[in-house]
Chain A
Amino acid sequence: MTEDLFKREATIIRHAEDLAASPDNVDNPLLPEFQSLLGHYMKLLNQAKRLVKMSDRMQGNLNILNEQLEHLSSIDGLTGIPNRRHFDEVLETELKRAYRDKMPLSVIMVDIDYFKAYNDQYGHMKGDKCLRLVAQTLSEAPKRPTEIVGRYGGEEFVAALPNTGMQGALIVAERMRTMIQDLDIPHESSPIASQVTLSFGVACETQYREERGAESLIQAADQMLYEAKRLGRNRVHPVCSDDTP
């Protein structure tokens, strides 16, 4: 690699060597000086090659560290799933794509029911364990690689489903709800069930409506989540019906 990189220098050396070896120059009084300078040039060139090699090596290490940092800064430390910062980035990108391709995109906001009561009864260690389990399970619900589930904060999670309309998103949310219920994590202080349950709010950006942007879409899903809570929790809102676009 370095040989190709320093092709020009190699040509210069060959030229200088030819000059030094030429019979025309045998008696030139500057010949010893010329050969000494050529020697210095070759030594410095070798050093330059080593410097490039070392520099590449050091930079390679920095690049690896950079990637690790990048990864760490996109992951939620407790649950190991994407954090809000990373989720927001992905949502922005996917939403732009959806607008461009005139495809729908759905967002699901998720909240653990009576999580404060859970923490109060079982303690924060168990609370953290519950968050991890819920996060891992929710992450397993999406089927397509472009779908992402992140921790939005506290006991709130969020999913973005590109190319998925309201019908599809409601099905995914319902699947998530069932998966968590089937985990059967005991929750004695919940007034609505004997195990940990979740509420879901779903909002969809479709090609039929004007573009709302990520923030409004999240807000719309949050509003639906609020409704799901108001209607008794452990449910998906809006309710799946065939006339939803």
Chain B
Amino acid sequence: MDELYIEATKSSPLVKFDPKNNVLEIVGESYPENAVKFYAPMFEWLNNNLGHLNSQPLTVNLNVSYFNSSSSKALMNLFDVLEETFQKVGKITVNWLYLGENETAQECGEEFQEDLEFLPFNLVKIENG
């Protein structure tokens, strides 16, 4: 699978795929001016690469503490794509990481989790630091 790297800015998260470990990461806050434009390269990457999931399972780690409405829609679209692939070939796990004290991030993780039927979606509490 191809590499993917979008550097974080003040208003957009780091989006990164590490082909060695098969880990897709989204880390940071997400309120880009144009969420469609910002997430377009990621969806393009998914489109090109989800067909070639190799024997190693894909892990998706999200640590997004704050996001605007269009970003949350983009994330739902992401989870839909992942769920679709999971139903076909399995081998995908999503981890929603949130800081222990961030109740909002936790509750939003729960909303995403409840919206999914099949895709493994774990809520992972992390300690401050």
Contacts and interface: CB of A to CB of B under 8 A. Distances in A.
Interface of A: 46-47, 50-51, 53-55, 57-58, 61
A55 B104 contact: no
A51 B69 contact: yes
B69 A55 contact: yes
Which applies to chain B's interface (DSSP): helix, strand, loop or mixed?
A: helix
Interface string B56-97: 000000000011110011001000000000000000000000
B104 A51 contact: no
B103 to A, nearest CB: 9
A50 B115 contact: yes
Given A57-B107, A58-B104, A61-B104, A51 B66 contact: no
Contacts of A55: 68-69, 72
22 contacts: A46-B115, A47-B115, A50-B76, A50-B114, A51-B69, A51-B72, A51-B73, A53-B111, A54-B69, A54-B72, A54-B107, A54-B108, A55-B68, A55-B69, A55-B72, A57-B107, A57-B108, A58-B66, A58-B68, A58-B104, A58-B108, A61-B104
Interface of B: 66-69, 72-73, 76, 104, 107-108, 111-112, 114-115
A77 B107 CA distance: 35
Given A47-B76, A61-B104, A54 B111 contact: yes
**What's the dominant secondary structure at chain A's contact region?**
helix
A105 to B, nearest CB: 44
B24 to A, nearest CB: 21
A57 B104 contact: yes
B63 to A, nearest CB: 16
Given A47-B115, A50-B115, A53-B111, A58 B76 contact: no
